[in-house]
Amino acid sequence: MNRVALSLSLAAKPRWWEFALWAFLLCLPLLLPTHALLISEITVIALFAMSLDLILGYSGIVSLGHAAFFGMGAYSAALFAKHINPDPLLGLAVATAVSALLGAFCSLGILRGSDLTRLMVTLGVALILQELANKLDFITGGADGLQGVVMGPVLGQFEFDLMGQTAAWYTLSITLAVFVLLRQVVVSAFGFSLQAIRDNALRAQAIGIPVHARLIAVYTLAAALAGMAGGLQAQTTGFASLDVFGFDRSADVLLMLVIGGTGWLWGGIIGAVVFKILHSIISAWTPQYWTFWLGLFLVLLILVGRARLIRPWTWGRRA
Amino acid sequence: MLTLLFDGVAYGMLLFILSIGLAVTLGLMNFINLAHGAFAMAGGYTTVLLMQHAGLPFLLCVPLAFVFTALLGAVMEATLYRRMYNKPHLDQVLFSIGLTFMAVAGVDYFVGSTQQLLQLPEFLKGRTELWDGALGMGHYRLAIIVVCAVLTLVLQLLLVRTRFGSQLRAAVDNQRVAAGLGIDVNKVFLLTFAVGSGLAGLGGALGAEVLGLDPTFPLKFMIYFLIVVAVGGTSGLTGPLLAALLLGIADVAGKYYIPKLGAFIVYSLMILILLWRPQGLFFRGGK
Amino acid sequence: MKTRFIFPLMALAFLFNATSVWAQEVFKIGLILPMTGQSASTGKQIEAAARLYMAQNGSTVAGRKIELIIKDDGGVPDATKRLAQELVVNDKVGVLSGFGLTPLALATAPVATQSKTPMVVMAAATSSITEASPFIVRTSFTLPQCAVAMADWAPKNGMKRVVTLVSDYGPGIDAERYFKERMQLNSAEVIESLRVPLRNPDFAPFLQKVRDLKPDALFVFVPSGAGAAVMKQFLERGMDKAGIKLIGTGDLTDDDQLNNMGEGALGVVTAHHYSAAHPSALNKKFVEAFKKANNGLRPNFMAVGGYDGMRVIYEALKNTKGGQGGGEAMLAAMKGQIFESPRGQIYIDAQTRDVVHNIYLRKVVKKDGQLYNMEFDVIKDMKDPGKTK
């Protein structure tokens, strides 16, 4: 094996602390049974953030409308469970597939143009889907939301309980599986070609990387995973409403990713945890004005420098 | 139908004044300033608060809103924005979203979250009907069209006939060369940002009556400003002007003729235009 | 011999201790409101009213101390459901209450059913809400009650051709449907039904369309807070001068905003269950106390919903001697309550668990320099037409 291949395969090996951290996460529903619902919610959002990282951190596409796929997955899963089959895993597969299709279709829109164009196109798609969901209220329940979604037991055994235990285990296992998958993807040749495209698309094309094909592929994958997260959300809460498509959701997940750090998979997870905990603490103290503190935090974060948040020892130094 | 056109033009002109600052900021400093809506809101609230608490007449409050917001913009540019010019677009987006959140929550805290209701002076209320009702012109909207048209002319003159204008255009075309020619680029940035924000504030003051004013104003209308800039391009005034008019008329007509689809029309139109011409409808090449 | 009594004595002592512990055990009320977002004013009014009730009636009922836990759901149904679940499972609340919008109440219904916790809806107004769970009790109102009242009054007052304009969600669609059906029953006509999006509504083009249709009147329903925007556009388009009357449900002339709407609102006729100007001694006291505690803020129908909701909970606690028998007993004690509220006489229907109260027809007038909804007619004890069908 030559040196390049060797160093790449070393980068691919999971570190010991990753195993330890995942083991800890999987035990959380046992350690904090009263917070199982919160754990489940954070896990879903972490999955959503990881999917955004694929296109933002690894491929450099700034998207303000990733919630389009989250919402698509949520409604697909909810509608599937309500009208066709209440099995969660089947519904999840359907949600993922539908969002992947949507992602493939939308990826055609982000190929050309500047950052601003991409921002607008992604935002526009999410807004259109939200309007559609509102108008087709005989299917989606419109502004009142989709009611009456009753999920079957996971794997035929584990019912969704009021405490949220089943939900927590379910979401954690799915997210772990996705994490393992993504880890393989980002250290593969495909993953590295994405980073090359992010850093300089023109140069990447010059050395023979099929830029458009790669972008379409990664966007579809990210959309599929976002849809999976949406499906999980709908299944664990038994409900889907218009704000799954909302700008707030897209903006929040972007923030989480930035807090945790883009370009590495743990960013999404850490960001989701930190964001939600911050939210819970600050909202308990000042429920009406928590967005002020969030805004302040963001401004300071950017002024200090994003990459330095998770490296507190660099805070004192100038950039 | 004519009334609709009239309403659409009024709406479009207002959007133009509100968005032109954003277009120039983007074109000049390559900075995506999503907090632009917050400056507009600041202008609106300045007017409302001055009218309610200081009892100043509407006609005085509007220019005051311009001045106040321009000053605010100048201060923010010098202290905060200046550091952000070379950062990647994602950082700029997040920074400006952060500022917006702070502004929204701040206004909510100090003024409250209810819609602010403005009492217009008597001569601006009222309506003129022409041609047996085929064209109904609200006096306020007529005033908006006139004011915005005048402002547009002034801006165009500034850009084309003054020295500052040519410095600005030079800096937009190529910042480095402009600096190399001795143009004080920092000063150009400061003044442009201040004027752009001031115009946003002016637009907010004028628009408070027509668009409504509450703390969520920046979030609600930011997308419209962005559409104008993305479609109209950032080189020159005509692009954004035409884009704003198009947007205003399409929005009003869409909601009238096909109320079921309403907002759809605007978003779909925007996406189609951007897919067809990713650099904006009126891009003349260059950057 | 004495030792034989020790155990029973100990048991008795333990029992007394337990009951006194029981008596001091806190009864928690979970109040989930939209404190941020579009419906923030609803949350503010209801919270103020709930606190006022507690201040006036003490915080100990039937020997139990009352703790009010307030949570903000931001108007997002997922959040409401999760907060409700957490309140039931973690905080062990005895009652869930609040619910500023229909989707928020509907999302929480399964939680109430599963955990057998009574749910007092203080704001949301779609008919079908009380049918979503057998544990739901409502103290707010329903749109069909107001729409039907209006549709009875309008044709008798020269309005035979009307256009309806409603916000596109549950209560709006209810209002539109019941108004239209009742109008047809009264041989009048709804010539067009327009729906405005719930978020970020822009009334100008819709009102222009109404003007072009030249009806006798425009019937409007928009959620509390959006009425001012409609009023403004209505006047700007000169619709009053074109002879079109503005009628609607009381949300249009919400007491919260009415005073700021300007003289243009004078003469607008609405149908609703509560006006801050309702001429009863209880209401005068209520309004004064509310204003005093809240910086001069006038209470609106949301506040009354919250105030009466607390009354229902307190009475149920008294009747079940401190909540004995759990959620089902509390629910039974809530059904059938009859009492005088600041809005007038009301009772909670034992079958439908919905509110039955008077619907007043009111006109906006100026009194003591302020704008008020003056009641001039009443339909007594109106049940929700959405159910009696």
Same domain? For C188 and C266 the reply is: yes
Contacts of C204 in chain B (CB under 8 A): 7, 210, 252
Residue intervals of chain A classified under CATH 1.10.3470 are 3-285
The answer, for C257 touching chain B at a CB cutoff of 8 Å, is yes
Contacts of B86 in chain A (CB under 8 A): none
Q: How far away is chain A from the Cα of B111, in angstroms, using its nearest Cα? A: 13
Arithmetic mean of pLDDT over chain B: 84
What span, in angstroms and rounded, lies between the C-alpha atoms of C335 and C138? 10
**What is residue C281's predicted lDDT score, i.e. its pLDDT?**
92
Q: Pick from C250, C205, C260, C281: which is nearest to C374 by CA?
A: C250
**Which whole number is the average pLDDT over C354-365?**
92
B263–C197 CB contact, under 8 Å: yes
Task: Give the residue from C36, C166, C207, C212 with the most B CB atoms within 10 Å of its CB, the best one to mutate.
Answer: C212
Q: How far away is chain B from the Cα of C9, in angstroms, using its nearest Cα? A: 60
| Composition of chain B by helix, strand, coil, percent to 5 | 75, 5, 20
Residue C104: which CATH number?
A: 3.40.50.2300
Can you give the pTM of this predicted structure?
0.83
Q: Which of residues 187-206 of B touch C (CB under 8 A)?
A: none
Task: Give the residue from B15, B52, B101, B114 with the most C CB atoms within 10 Å of its CB, the best one to mutate.
Answer: B114
* pLDDT tens sequence across C240-265: 888 899 999 988 888 888 887 777 78
Contacts of B129 in chain C (CB under 8 A): 238
**Domain-located, residue B272:** yes
What span, in angstroms and rounded, lies between the C-alpha atoms of C307 and C289? 12
**Which whole number is the average pLDDT over A90-110?**
92
Contacts of A142 in chain C (CB under 8 A): 168-169
Same domain? For C28 and C119 the reply is: yes
**What is residue A232's predicted lDDT score, i.e. its pLDDT?**
93
Same domain? For C196 and C257 the reply is: yes
Same domain? For C94 and C124 the reply is: yes
B3–C208 CB contact, under 8 Å: yes
Reported as type and span, the H/E element at residue C364 is strand C355-367
- By Cβ distance, the residue of C35, C76, C106 closest to A243 is C76
- By Cβ distance, the residue of A239, A243, A283 closest to C72 is A283
**Domain-located, residue B281:** no
* pLDDT over 90 (residue A223): yes
- Tell me which chains share at least 3 CB pairs under 8 Å with chain B: A, C
**What is residue B132's predicted lDDT score, i.e. its pLDDT?**
65
Contacts of C115 in chain A (CB under 8 A): 162
What span, in angstroms and rounded, lies between the C-alpha atoms of C311 and C196? 36
Q: Pick from C47, C175, C179: which is nearest to C123 by CA?
A: C47
Contacts of A134 in chain B (CB under 8 A): none
Q: Which of residues 19-48 of B touch C (CB under 8 A)?
A: none
B113–C40 CB contact, under 8 Å: yes
**What is residue B130's predicted lDDT score, i.e. its pLDDT?**
75
Same domain? For C224 and C284 the reply is: no
Same domain? For C151 and C252 the reply is: yes
- In chain C, whose CA is at the least distance from the CA of A160? C114
Task: Give the residue from A40, A239, A245, A290 with the most C CB atoms within 10 Å of its CB, the best one to mutate.
Answer: A239
- By Cβ distance, the residue of A37, A131, A243 closest to C85 is A37
Same domain? For C284 and C257 the reply is: no
Q: Contact, C255 vs C265, CB < 8 A?
A: no
* pLDDT tens sequence across B203-222: 999 888 888 788 888 888 88
Higher pLDDT: C153 or B133? It is C153
Could you tell me the CA-to-CA distances from C341 to C130, C281, C285 in Å, in that order?
Answer: 21, 11, 11
The answer, for C208 touching chain B at a CB cutoff of 8 Å, is yes
Of A57-71, B135-149, B254-268, the least confident: B254-268
**What is residue A309's predicted lDDT score, i.e. its pLDDT?**
58
Higher pLDDT: C3 or A6? It is A6
Contacts of B101 in chain A (CB under 8 A): 291-292, 294-295, 298
Tokens encoding A260: 């945790």
A124–B219 CB contact, under 8 Å: no
The total of structural domains in chain B comes to: 1
What span, in angstroms and rounded, lies between the C-alpha atoms of A80 and A149? 9
**What is residue A315's predicted lDDT score, i.e. its pLDDT?**
53
Contacts of B115 in chain C (CB under 8 A): 225-226, 228-229, 257
Q: Contact, C206 vs C167, CB < 8 A?
A: no
The residues facing C363 across adjacent strands are C269, C374
Q: Which domain, by its residues, includes B269?
A: 2-276
ipTM for this model: 0.81
**Domain-located, residue B282:** no
Confidence of residue B283 (pLDDT cuts 50, 70, 90): low
Q: Which of residues 163-202 of C touch B (CB under 8 A)?
A: 194-197, 200, 202
C77–A243 CB contact, under 8 Å: yes
What span, in angstroms and rounded, lies between the C-alpha atoms of A94 and C317? 48
* pLDDT over 80 (residue A188): yes
B255–C236 CB contact, under 8 Å: no
**Domain-located, residue C3:** no
The answer, for C91 touching chain B at a CB cutoff of 8 Å, is no
The residues facing B183 across adjacent strands are none
Contacts of C72 in chain A (CB under 8 A): 283, 287-288
**Domain-located, residue B284:** no
What span, in angstroms and rounded, lies between the C-alpha atoms of A278 and A272? 10
**What is residue C388's predicted lDDT score, i.e. its pLDDT?**
62
Helix (H, G, I), strand (E, B) or coil at A264: coil
**What is residue A265's predicted lDDT score, i.e. its pLDDT?**
83
Confidence of residue C201 (pLDDT cuts 50, 70, 90): low
Task: Give the residue from C35, C106, C108, C202 with the most A CB atoms within 10 Å of its CB, the best one to mutate.
Answer: C106
* pLDDT tens sequence across A98-107: 999 999 999 8
The total of structural domains in chain C comes to: 2
C169–A142 CB contact, under 8 Å: yes
* pLDDT tens sequence across C304-355: 999 999 999 999 999 988 878 888 999 999 999 999 999 999 999 998 999 9
The upper half-sphere exposure of residue C120, i.e. CA atoms within 13 Å in the direction of its Cβ, equals 32
* pLDDT over 90 (residue B168): no
**What is residue A38's predicted lDDT score, i.e. its pLDDT?**
84
**Domain-located, residue C1:** no
What span, in angstroms and rounded, lies between the C-alpha atoms of C179 and B192? 55
**Which whole number is the average pLDDT over B131-148?**
81
Arithmetic mean of pLDDT over chain A: 85
Residue with tokens 């921002």: A119
A144–C102 CB contact, under 8 Å: yes
Q: Could you give the angle at which helices C143-156 and C170-185 cross, rounded to 10 degrees?
A: 30
The answer, for C235 touching chain A at a CB cutoff of 8 Å, is no
* pLDDT tens sequence across A116-156: 788 888 888 998 898 888 888 788 877 777 877 888 888 87
Between A and C, how many CB-CB pairs are < 8 A? 74
Angle at B6 between CA B2 and CA B7, to 5 degrees: 120
**What is residue B93's predicted lDDT score, i.e. its pLDDT?**
85
Q: How far away is chain A from the Cα of C271, in angstroms, using its nearest Cα? A: 24
Reported as type and span, the H/E element at residue C137 is strand C136-138
Contacts of C208 in chain B (CB under 8 A): 3-4, 7, 256
Residue B199: which CATH number?
A: 1.10.3470
- In chain C, whose CA is at the least distance from the CA of B263? C197
Of A214-218, B174-178, C288-292, the least confident: B174-178
Within 8 A by CB and 6+ apart from B56, the residues are B50, B64
**What is residue C122's predicted lDDT score, i.e. its pLDDT?**
95
The answer, for C325 touching chain B at a CB cutoff of 8 Å, is no
The answer, for B221 touching chain A at a CB cutoff of 8 Å, is no
- In chain C, whose CA is at the least distance from the CA of A290? C36
**Domain-located, residue B234:** yes
**What is residue A225's predicted lDDT score, i.e. its pLDDT?**
95
Q: Pick from C270, C252, C272, C269: which is nearest to C261 by CA?
A: C252
Q: How far away is chain B from the Cα of A299, in angstroms, using its nearest Cα? A: 5
Contacts of A62 in chain B (CB under 8 A): 89-90, 93
Confidence of residue C23 (pLDDT cuts 50, 70, 90): very low
**Which whole number is the average pLDDT over B11-30?**
88
CATH of domain A3-285: 1.10.3470
**What is residue B83's predicted lDDT score, i.e. its pLDDT?**
82
Tokens encoding A17: 């602390």
Confidence of residue A109 (pLDDT cuts 50, 70, 90): confident
Within 8 A by CB and 6+ apart from A210, the residues are none
Helix (H, G, I), strand (E, B) or coil at C181: helix
* pLDDT over 50 (residue C17): no
Tokens encoding A214: 């790669």
**Which whole number is the average pLDDT over A74-78?**
93
Q: Pick from B117, B138, B115: which is nearest to B126 by CA?
A: B138
Q: Extract the runs of DSSP E, i.e. beta strands, from B164-235.
A: none
The answer, for C90 touching chain A at a CB cutoff of 8 Å, is yes
The answer, for B51 touching chain C at a CB cutoff of 8 Å, is no
* pLDDT over 60 (residue C196): yes
* pLDDT over 90 (residue C126): no
Other beta carbons less than 10 A from residue B161's beta carbon: 10
Q: Which domain, by its residues, includes C160?
A: 143-272+359-388
The answer, for C209 touching chain B at a CB cutoff of 8 Å, is yes
What span, in angstroms and rounded, lies between the C-alpha atoms of A187 and A10? 10
* pLDDT over 90 (residue A52): yes
- In chain B, whose CA is at the least distance from the CA of A305? B91
Arithmetic mean of pLDDT over chain C: 86
* pLDDT over 60 (residue C3): no
**What is residue C331's predicted lDDT score, i.e. its pLDDT?**
92
Chain-centroid distance of CA B86 in Å reads 24
**What is residue B143's predicted lDDT score, i.e. its pLDDT?**
87
* pLDDT tens sequence across B224-244: 888 888 888 877 788 899 999
B127–C194 CB contact, under 8 Å: no
Q: Which of residues 18-47 of C touch B (CB under 8 A)?
A: 38, 40-41
**What is residue A150's predicted lDDT score, i.e. its pLDDT?**
81
* pLDDT over 50 (residue C20): no
